[in-house]
Chains A and B, each alone.
Chain A
Amino acid sequence: GENVEQHPSTLSVQEGDSAVIKCTYSDSASNYFPWYKQELGKGPQLIIDIRSNVGEKKDQRIAVTLNKTAKHFSLHITETQPEDSAVYFCAASNRYSTLTFGKGTMLLVSP
């Protein structure tokens, strides 16, 4: 089955800096790669996703890149703000129905 590795497990940045979280996956058939933000006491919320027919997608301060050859994808957050502090999960799927999650990255943005 699919295996998703996520790094780093924790990331501390100063407000205004950029943050990058990286994930690798094992199943070359995977074609959908979402990123979720989970705040304390809440369920994961989708923040951005990318499908295998594109290499990069951007939404304001958030961008995701995908390298299918190397089987890795990354989340980039620019101009970080304290409210970006949360746990971020990457995931991969080769079917509509099943997601395999990375172990999560705790991002702490200090004012």
Chain B
Amino acid sequence: SAVISQKPSRDICQRGTSLTIQCQVDSQVTMMFWYRQQPGQSLTLIATANQGSEATYESGFVIDKFPISRPNLTFSTLTVSNMSPEDSSIYLCSTHRAGEAFFGQGTRLTVV
């Protein structure tokens, strides 16, 4: 199995500020994924991040709002920019290994 360390586990942020979430994988992986899980809802894919190229964003998500970095094969960050209360969610990073998806423990973000 793949181990993904995600931090912070939770944060309370002021509107208008930005938060960067980090994910570290215990081995090199080609793709990393970022999901949003709004309260009581399912997981929605924000973007796919490959090392050495720009992230691919899903419909409804844009780079200016959710910039992603993928500096190497074990690490990625997601920034939630210019936050508003509507951004309050759990954010999860994920990767795949041997056809199975593994998730970080999530970052519970509350914007006040």
Residues 31-56 of A contacting B (Cβ, < 8 Å):
32, 34, 36, 41-46, 49
Q: How far is the CB of B98 from chain A (nearest CB, A)?
A: 10
Residues of A within 8 A of B (CB): 6, 32, 34, 36, 41-46, 49, 89, 91, 96-99, 101-104
Interface of B is mostly: strand
The reply to whether B96 and A89 contact each other, CB–CB distance below 8 Å, is no
CA distance A9 to B43 in the complex (A): 15
The reply to whether B42 and A49 contact each other, CB–CB distance below 8 Å, is no
Residues of B within 8 A of A (CB): 4, 6, 9, 31, 33, 41-45, 48, 92, 96, 99-106, 108
Please judge, given known A-B contacts A32-B99, A42-B106, whether A97 and B31 are in contact too, CB under 8 Å. Answer: yes
Chain B residues with CB under 8 Å of A44's CB are: 43, 92, 103
The reply to whether A41 and B105 contact each other, CB–CB distance below 8 Å, is yes
Most buried by B among A44, A45, A91: A44
The reply to whether A43 and B103 contact each other, CB–CB distance below 8 Å, is yes
CA distance A18 to B96 in the complex (A): 31
CA distance A41 to B100 in the complex (A): 21
CA distance A58 to B54 in the complex (A): 40
B59 and chain A: residue at smallest CB distance: A1
The reply to whether A43 and B100 contact each other, CB–CB distance below 8 Å, is no
Most buried by A among B31, B41, B42, B96: B42
Chain A residues with CB under 8 Å of B9's CB are: 41
The reply to whether B48 and A43 contact each other, CB–CB distance below 8 Å, is no
Between-chain CB contacts (< 8 Å), 14 pairs: A6-B42, A34-B101, A36-B103, A41-B105, A41-B106, A42-B106, A43-B6, A49-B100, A96-B96, A97-B96, A99-B45, A101-B42, A101-B44, A103-B42
